[in-house]
Amino acid sequence: MSEDADSTSDLMTLDELCERVQMSVRNVRFYTTKGLVPPPIRRGRSGYYTVDHVARLELVTELQAHGFTLAAIERYVARIPEDATASTISLHRTLLAPWMAEHPQSMGADELTALTGRELTEDEMAVMDELGIISPAGPNRYDVAVGHLDAGMKLIAVGYPRSAASAASKVFTHHASAIAEAISEIFRQEVWPHYRASGASPEDLTVAIEALKPLSIASLVNAFEKAMNEDKRKIIARRAGEEAAD
């Protein structure tokens, strides 16, 4: 618990905390027993909560939204110092925020059909899901990356198989997780100590992270293109060697 979070005027009851973070009493108590948030501050027989509790519960909610399991959330939160301020914890949420400019649009089945020009088959929807273009979001509701929809339809038109989409998705997920872990470690080891020593505000670091996101994406795309081009050169050279041997 940070030193500046124990102001009497900032204390909240359990009900007030639950209303602020839109979470049930049962869930707050569950996360407390799991050590994801600190126990309440005792004032006699009553327990009170602060902005630090709010920040940590909002972080847990953000991690859940990104598909983290409870065990993964516990490992993530364990890395955050116990005396981390609410502002510092909010920086973790900034790092978790989407790094792509386009956010999926939620729409109904009829609206999706209007965009695609026809009703997609179950297998086609599965391909789109594997590609990260169309994801189920409830009964007859979908989250759609509209900017990529045309590309997905072109792949479907040429018979892009679901097995290929699934295999590629697993490759990207595996390597993306490793990259994300490495980048987060750089921030923990290099960026955060420097930012604290310089006296910069949490808002300053948030601005820096947001500015870095598109540059990081561009670097990743460039590295991927170079790797693909190098792989094609190796394939051409190998085939040329095989033909010469014949």
Per-residue pLDDT of the chain (246 residues; tens, 9 = 90+): 554 455 455 799 999 999 999 999 999 999 999 999 999 999 888 899 999 999 999 999 888 877 788 888 898 888 888 888 887 787 777 777 666 555 678 899 999 999 999 999 999 999 999 998 998 988 889 999 888 899 999 999 999 999 999 998 888 888 877 887 787 788 778 887 887 788 877 777 777 777 777 777 778 878 888 888 888 788 888 887 777 776
| Paired tokens of 205 | 């670091």
Q: Are residues 156 and 138 in the same domain?
A: yes
Domain hosting residue 217, numbered range? 200-246
Number of compact structural domains in the chain: 3
In a domain? residue 182 = no
pLDDT at residue number 28: 94
Residue type, 178: A
From the centroid of its chain, how far is CA 22?
A: 20
Q: Are residues 93 and 138 in the same domain?
A: no
pTM, two decimals, is 0.53
In a domain? residue 53 = yes
Sequential DSSP letters for 165-185: HHHHHHHHHHHHHHHHHHHHH
Q: Are residues 15 and 85 in the same domain?
A: yes
Q: Which of 68, 97, 126 is the last residue of a domain?
A: 97
Q: Are residues 86 and 110 in the same domain?
A: no
Which helix or strand (DSSP H or E) is residue 108 part of?
strand 105-108
Q: Are residues 16 and 91 in the same domain?
A: yes
Q: Are residues 210 and 234 in the same domain?
A: yes
Which sign, positive or negative, has the C-alpha torsion 25, 31, 32, 33?
Answer: positive
Q: Are residues 3 and 88 in the same domain?
A: yes
Q: Which of 50, 71, 97 is the last residue of a domain?
A: 97
Q: Are residues 7 and 65 in the same domain?
A: yes
Q: Which CATH number fits the domain that encloses residue 7?
A: 1.10.1660.10
pLDDT at residue number 30: 94
Q: Are residues 78 and 25 in the same domain?
A: yes
Q: Report the distance separating Cα 212 and Cα 209, nearest Å.
A: 5
pLDDT at residue number 125: 95
Write down the residue that tokens 């965009």 correspond to: 115
In a domain? residue 193 = no
Q: Are residues 88 and 138 in the same domain?
A: no
Which helix or strand (DSSP H or E) is residue 5 part of?
none
From the centroid of its chain, how far is CA 180?
A: 10
Q: Are residues 55 and 2 in the same domain?
A: yes
In a domain? residue 131 = yes
Q: Which of 56, 79, 97 is the last residue of a domain?
A: 97
Q: Are residues 78 and 40 in the same domain?
A: yes
Residue type, 193: P
